[in-house]
Amino acid sequence: MALLDGKLLAAELRAELAPRVAAFVQAHGRKPGLDVVLVGEDPASVVYTRNKEKAAQDLGMRSTLHRLPKAATQAEVLARIESLNSDDAVDGILVQLPLPEGLDPTPIVEAVRVDKDVDGFHPVNVGLLSLGRNALVACTPQGCMRLLRGLDVRGKHTVVIGRSNIVGKPMAQLLLAADATVTVAHSKTRGLPELCQTADILVAAIGRPEFVRGSWIKPGAIVLDVGINRVDGEGGKSRLVGDVAFAEAEAIASYISPVPGGVGPMTIACLLANTLQAAESRLVNR
């Protein structure tokens, strides 16, 4: 078994991006800019947004976190996005989800300019992806595809467990575009263990700790574990586990992405790649 080492590949991707960031600064006299909107105080979201801000700054980009109170109205959030949309120094806009109760995420996600939508959640980017056209592609599935680079996916039977708009569905689109044969499974799928046993490539994006057992995995399969679940660990401390029972799976799979250190670091690196792509192409396409 070999590990799909997201930490290492994310560092490689950042090293590829660094000279492009420098070239952008040279050409445009300013840094590529990522603006993150965080509404409320959700502790996990505070950590995630800080990590994104830091990762962008470490790569030589400008990053600004815009914090709005939990009680912010729909109109206030939309107004902030509008001002970022029209600001020329803003290349990428990300609205951290989930939003506090009372805010409707759909119009908020759709308010972000398509060419600044570095999360790839705007319906136009989703549509372009499904048409196989150039788009800003959601970061997590994009990171998964980078983890699969160099491995043969053509014609391989791939089972994606999870059909969310941010992971499962775009993952299926990217795999189709890479000529895999794709089955999408979800909470209503029958006979999930047997279905998984037919998968040459298995992608787990469920949100349930160690849900996929070793016995579900076809010998020699490639396993991508997207899940991030916090569970009780030793000594009252919590620890992170994926959606796959790693200790069981590693004995059977040919490649597997660990949690932590697999898909997670790739997601952030792909956000940086999207921000740079948005900056470069917006200024070229004027």
Task: Give the binding range for ligand NAD (CB under 6 A) out of 38-46, 67-75, 199-207, 250-258.
Answer: 199-207
**Closest distance between ligand NAD and the C-beta of residue 207, in Å?**
3
**Closest distance between ligand NAD and the C-beta of residue 192, in Å?**
6
> How many other C-beta atoms can be found within 10 angstroms of the C-beta atom of residue 68?
18
- For ligand NAD, the closer of residues 72 and 145 by Cβ is 145
Site for ligand NAD in 26-45 (CB under 6 A): none
Tell me whether residue 87 is one of the annotated catalytic residues. Answer: no
Which residue out of 119, 200, 225, 243 is catalytically annotated? 119
Site for ligand NAD in 227-246 (CB under 6 A): 227-229
Among 25, 166, 240, 283, contact with ligand NAD (rule: CB under 6 A): 166
**Closest distance between ligand NAD and the C-beta of residue 166, in Å?**
5
Among 37, 174, 249, 263, contact with ligand NAD (rule: CB under 6 A): 263
- For ligand NAD, the closer of residues 57 and 229 by Cβ is 229
Q: Locate tokens 């490539």: which residue?
A: 201
Tokens of 90: 């803003």
- For ligand NAD, the closer of residues 90 and 125 by Cβ is 125
Tell me whether residue 119 is one of the annotated catalytic residues. Answer: yes
User: What's the burial of 184, exposed, middle or buried (CB within 10 Å: 0-12/13-18/19+)?
Assistant: middle
CB-nearest residue to ligand NAD: 164
Could you tell me the strand order of the sheet in which 62-68 lies?
A: 62-68, 33-39, 92-95
CB-facing half-sphere around the CA of 83: CA atoms within 13 A: 9
**Cβ pair 158, 199 in contact under 8 A:** yes
Tell me whether residue 117 is one of the annotated catalytic residues. Answer: no
Among 74, 164, 183, 254, contact with ligand NAD (rule: CB under 6 A): 164
The H or E element that residue 123 is part of is: helix 123-130
267 is an interface residue for ligand NAD by CB under 6 A: yes
Listed residue (91, 90, 108) closest to 99, CA to CA: 108
* SS3 readout for 170-235: HHHHHHHHCCCEEEEECCCCCCHHHHHCCCCEEEECCCCCCCECHHHCCCCCEEEECCCEEEECHH
Angle between helices 6-28 and 139-147 (to 10 degrees): 120
7 is an interface residue for ligand NAD by CB under 6 A: no
Residue type, 102: G
167 is an interface residue for ligand NAD by CB under 6 A: yes
Tokens of 261: 């250190």
Among 40, 92, 162, 258, contact with ligand NAD (rule: CB under 6 A): 162
Contacts with ligand NAD by CB under 6 A lie at: 140, 161-164, 166-168, 185-187, 189, 192, 205-208, 226-229, 263-264, 267
Q: Which residues are catalytic?
A: 52, 96, 119
